[in-house]
Amino acid sequence: MDSLEKQLICPICLETFTKPVVILPCQHNLCRKCANDIFQSSNPYLPTRGGTAASGGRFRCPSCRHEVVLDRHGVYGLQRNLLVENIIDMYKQEYISSRPSPEQKVDQPICEVHEDEKINIYCLTCGVPTCSMCKVFGAHKDCEVAPLNSIYQTQKTELSDRIAMMVGNNDRIQGIISQLEETCRSIEENGRRQKSKVCEKFDHLYAILEDRKREMNVKVNAEQEEKLNYIRRLTRKYGDHLESMTKIMETGIQTLEEPEMAVFLQNTKPLLQKIAEASNTSHLERVERGYENMDHYSVSFKREGRALRNIDFAREDDEEEEDEEEVAVDADGRAGQTASGEVDSLNEALPPLLPPQPLSTCRPATSS
């Protein structure tokens, strides 16, 4: 419990985090009031509203010195860490419950089969709490049983360990979500940069190359959108999984508060099964390293430039004899045919656009 308490100390006020708790991009946590205080001290000339910065600015994380850039909402634009807030509530409740208090009598559940008998033992064979009469005469007479208090302590410890494991998994998934969001920003930036390069190359060509420029931009946009849509879907999957685990964890915290051992044991087995299923993240895909890279859309027009510089008047084909009617064509008509022939020869000189790297090779493999 002491090690948990150290993790819940704000590095600014050196007290247990005070809600609301905000999480910085570097994954460190601060009380929102402390974050606002350090932000105002780092930006003394920014206008404030009601003691809180009302416009964007920046400050450094007190734990790792990472620079935090705020939008126009200031510290209120930072995401709340509801997980840490729930852990604080659980810790405070555990601390209060651990203090000695007057004993209170709680009605013990009654056996459904023997209405006058209270549930006072636990069947190890069937995994359910039961009464002494069921052990002597009833359905559990051939089963192995144990006192409720020993099984209560064992399963309570197991549930606490599973919840602690889920806390670690939630932190890891939160980090993955942050990485996915950063990947989205990288894909957008790389896409914009590549489109800019493509436009710069095409600015040096004539109008005949405009169609090619549009085709290449369409391909860059298509892959960019496909990658962004995939990352966003993956982000939503991780978010949904995180939300599901948070709900199960809240249910586990409520179960830990159950004072009656029999009721606790009745609810623990299905809850442990849900926790085991929720802790399995093997069905969630992982993004392959370099997935956000868009460099395979680099372009070079050296060969096309040479083709453009070699454009010349149309030459007569020695193997083809022109008819007398073709010789009689007026000069204007022949000039139009020559211009058309130059366009056709240019199109033949330009190589076809090579297809970009197939998306199937960029798609991340699912984790085993």
- CATH number corresponding to 1-97: 3.30.40.10
Residue ranges per structural domain of the chain: 1-97
pLDDT in tens, 265-289: 888 888 898 888 888 877 788 888 8
What pTM does this model have?
0.32
pLDDT in tens, 81-90: 888 888 888 8
Phi, psi of 81 (to 5 degrees): -100, 85
pLDDT at 96: 63
pLDDT in tens, 65-83: 888 888 777 788 888 888 8
User: How far apart are the C-alpha atoms of 119 and 137, rounded to whole Å?
Assistant: 15
User: How far apart are the C-alpha atoms of 42 and 53, rounded to whole Å?
Assistant: 11
CB-side neighbour CA atoms (13 Å) of 293: 14
Q: Residue 29's beta-bridge partner residues? A: 23
pLDDT at 221: 94
CB-side neighbour CA atoms (13 Å) of 286: 11
The fraction of the chain above a pLDDT of 90, given in percent, is 9
